[in-house]
Structure formats: C-alpha cells, structure tokens
C-alpha cells in the first residue's frame, strides 16, 4: 500500500507579497525534489478537495469563517497581522489545504493509503478557533484530527508538532478535549511567545533554548513525548511537519541538521507503528530556507513511504 501525497495547484495562489518567506515556491521545491529523487511516481498522488463548512466548524467558529470572508480583498492585500495577509485567492488555497488533511485522514483511516503527506500551504498550526495569525488561516492538522474523531472509529489521536514555533492554535483548540494529545517541540521565547507553559496548556511540550542542536532535542523528545504517548495510546497520529528549526533557516535559532529531521520522521513513523497500526497523516507547516525544506521534506516523505 502506497503513501499518499496530497496537494493542489490552488495552494500556490495564496501569496503575501514579494520577499515574504511563506511563499508559493515552498510547495514547488518539495515536489521538484521528490521528482528529482524519482520518488514522485512511487507515491499515490491526489488533488486536495475543498474542505466543507461542516468540517471547518469542528474547529473554527462560524463568526470567524464569516470574518475571514469579509476580510477577503477584491485586489491587493488585506492585512491580518504584521506577518499575515490575505490576497484574493487566499481562501481558495486555505480551503484546499484543510481539505487535504481531510482526504488524507479518510485515505489512511480506511486503509486506502498506508500514510499520507499533505504538501500544502498556507500552514495551519497557529490558527485558533477564531484567529488567523502567524501565516495561518485554517488549522489544517486540527481539521484532520477532528475529522478522524467525528467520522472514523478512533477515540484517541495524537498530534506531533516539530515545527520550530509552538503550535499555539492546535494547543488551544484541543485544550479541553481529552481525546486529543498534542506533543510539541519548539524554540522557547520565539513567536508566538506562548511558550506552551502558560495558562491551561495540557500539551506535552519540549521548549528548547536558542542554539539548541539535534542531540539535545532527541534526548528531550524521548524523555518527554514517549512516556506520555505510552500512557495515552493514540489510535491515529497526526504530524505538524515544520522544517524551520534547520540550521540554514534564518527564521529561528535552533540548529537542527538534515539527519535530525530524518530522526524525527523515523520517530513519528515508529510511534504510529507502535500505537496506531501505522495510521499517520503529516501536514506541512513551516520551513523557509527552500533548499533545506526541499531536502528534509522529501526525506520525510521517503521515510513515510519506506523507500
Ligand atoms: Zn514555524
């Protein structure tokens, strides 16, 4: 059974201006790398469907969906925060990105795919139920996890987030839902400055200091995530796959190498194999140095596919 690769041309229609790091080329370079490594034909490729309103309403408020619609510009840009803006095509892209997570969940949950990677943008893990922020509009991984719980016979799912930024949106969306465990690693005191240690966060968080490398990360993740997952025993694994902790990525001060991302990819796959019958859906979050993003995301997909 193949690994599914899900994307859509609309994901590149959303753009936030020249020189913005969250750019359309991000998904292109991953596809190009998979092609050059001769991996593309070995994957089951799907176009992402549009997410439905019902699927979005599992994690976002109706008033937020209306607010986004009202902010959509007819031309030019509509600024959401200092780093996040909408162009006229933003919601077309965001609907496909969230729809990719839903399709991936259906394919994996019904055994039509071994696992799946969603090569999508805009990313999602900063989006809360009613706030767009940090380049994110719909929380794609949360939409997928909520779909798994609503439409498939799963009672517990875990979200593993290795983006360098704390997935504050995912954390807060599920903070009162005992069916969802969120395990994160991120750079401490970096955007969104939530640190994951404040308020009622029940996330299983590894907050790493600036300058932290892969060895320290590996030990902390094994000590923190694995006992929690052993106690929780998730039936399906979701991954917020961000590659912006790479040493070449200027958006952060962590110094992970390609091999650290391979280790994280192998770890998430082994967690899925141990607890969840291999059920794993991975969605692209950050990663802004195009060369290391392409290499590490392609290696992630290669590992998922067992190639
Ligand atoms: Zn990030």
pLDDT of residue 202: 77
**Residue 307 pLDDT > 70, yes or no?**
yes
C-alpha 223 – ligand 1 centre gap (Å): 23
Note the Cα 183 to chain centre separation in Å: 12
Average pLDDT over residues 48-74: 98
46/8 Cα distance (integer angstroms): 8
Average pLDDT over residues 103-116: 98
Average pLDDT over residues 110-114: 98
**Residue 195 pLDDT > 70, yes or no?**
no
C-alpha 286 – ligand 1 centre gap (Å): 4
Active-site residue, selected from the candidate residues 60, 126, 165, 166 = 126
C-alpha 287 – ligand 1 centre gap (Å): 7
pLDDT of residue 109: 98
Cβ atoms of 170 and 159 closer than 8 Å: yes
pLDDT of residue 197: 54
Confidence tier at 194 by pLDDT (50, 70, 90):
confident
Q: What is the DSSP string of 173-201?
A: HTTT-TTEEEEEEEETT-TT--TTTSTT-
Return the ∠ at Cα 278 (arms to 51 and 261), rounded to 5°: 85
Selecting from 2.40.110.10, 3.90.550.10, 2.60.120.260, 3.40.800.20, what CATH number does the domain 3-305 have?
A: 3.40.800.20
Note the Cα 141 to chain centre separation in Å: 6
pLDDT tens track for 118-142: 999 999 999 999 999 999 999 999 9
Domain boundaries, the chain: 3-305
Mean of the per-residue pLDDT values for the chain? 96
C-alpha 183 – ligand 1 centre gap (Å): 15
Cβ atoms of 51 and 127 closer than 8 Å: no
**Residue 279 pLDDT > 90, yes or no?**
yes
Q: What is the DSSP string of the chain?
A: -PEEEEE-GGGGT----TT-SS-THHHHHHHHHHHHTT-GGGSEEEEPPPPPHHHHHTTS-HHHHHHHHHH--SSS-EESSSS-EE-TTHHHHHHHHHHHHHHHHHHHHTTSSSEEEE--SS--TT--SS--BTTBSS-HHHHHHHHHHHHSS-S-EEEEE-SSS--HHHHHHTTT-TTEEEEEEEETT-TT--TTTSTT---EEEEEPTT-BHHHHHHHHHHHHHHHHHHH--SEEEEEE--TTBTT-TT-S-BB-HHHHHHHHHHHHHHHHHHSTT-EEEEE----SHHHHHHHHHHHHHHHHT-
C-alpha 216 – ligand 1 centre gap (Å): 19
Catalytic residue status for 126: yes
pLDDT tens track for 213-269: 999 999 999 999 999 999 999 999 999 999 999 999 999 999 999 999 999 999 999
pLDDT of residue 162: 98
pLDDT of residue 268: 98
| pTM as predicted | 0.97
Average pLDDT over residues 20-42: 98
pLDDT tens track for 151-188: 999 999 999 999 999 999 999 999 999 999 999 999 99
Cβ atoms of 277 and 306 closer than 8 Å: no
**Residue 198 pLDDT > 60, yes or no?**
no
């Amino acid at each position: 059974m193949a690994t599914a690769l899900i994307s859509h041309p609309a994901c590149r229609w959303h753009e936030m201006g020249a020189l913005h790091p969250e750019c359309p080329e991000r998904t292109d370079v991953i596809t190009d790398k998979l092609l050059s490594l001769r991996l593309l034909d070995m994957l089951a490729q799907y176009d992402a469907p549009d997410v439905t309103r019902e699927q979005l309403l599992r994690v976002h408020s109706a008033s937020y969906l209306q607010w986004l619609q009202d902010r959509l510009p007819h031309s030019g840009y509509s600024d959401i925060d200092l780093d996040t803006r909408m162009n006229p095509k933003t919601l077309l892209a965001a609907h496909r990105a969230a729809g990719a997570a839903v399709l991936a969940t259906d394919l994996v949950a019904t055994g039509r795919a071994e696992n799946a990677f969603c090569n999508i943008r805009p990313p999602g893990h900063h989006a809360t139920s009613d706030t767009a922020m940090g380049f994110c509009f719909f929380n794609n991984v949360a939409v997928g996890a909520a779909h798994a719980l609503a439409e498939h016979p799963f009672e517990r799912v875990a979200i593993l987030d290795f983006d360098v930024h704390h997935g504050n949106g995912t954390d807060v969306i599920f903070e009162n839902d005992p069916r969802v465990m969120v395990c994160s690693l991120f750079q401490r005191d970096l955007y969104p400055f939530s640190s994951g240690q404040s308020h009622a966060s029940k996330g299983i968080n590894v907050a790493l200091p600036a300058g932290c490398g892969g060895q320290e990360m590996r030990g902390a993740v094994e000590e923190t995530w694995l006992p929690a997952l052993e106690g929780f025993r998730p039936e399906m694994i979701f991954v917020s796959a961000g590659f912006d902790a790479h040493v070449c990525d200027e958006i952060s001060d962590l110094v992970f190498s390609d091999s650290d991302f391979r280790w994280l990819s192998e770890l998430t796959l082994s967690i899925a194999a141990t607890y969840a019958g291999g059920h794993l859906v991975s969605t692209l979050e950050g990663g802004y140095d195009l060369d290391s993003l392409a290499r590490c995301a392609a290696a992630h997909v290669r590992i998922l596919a067992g190639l």
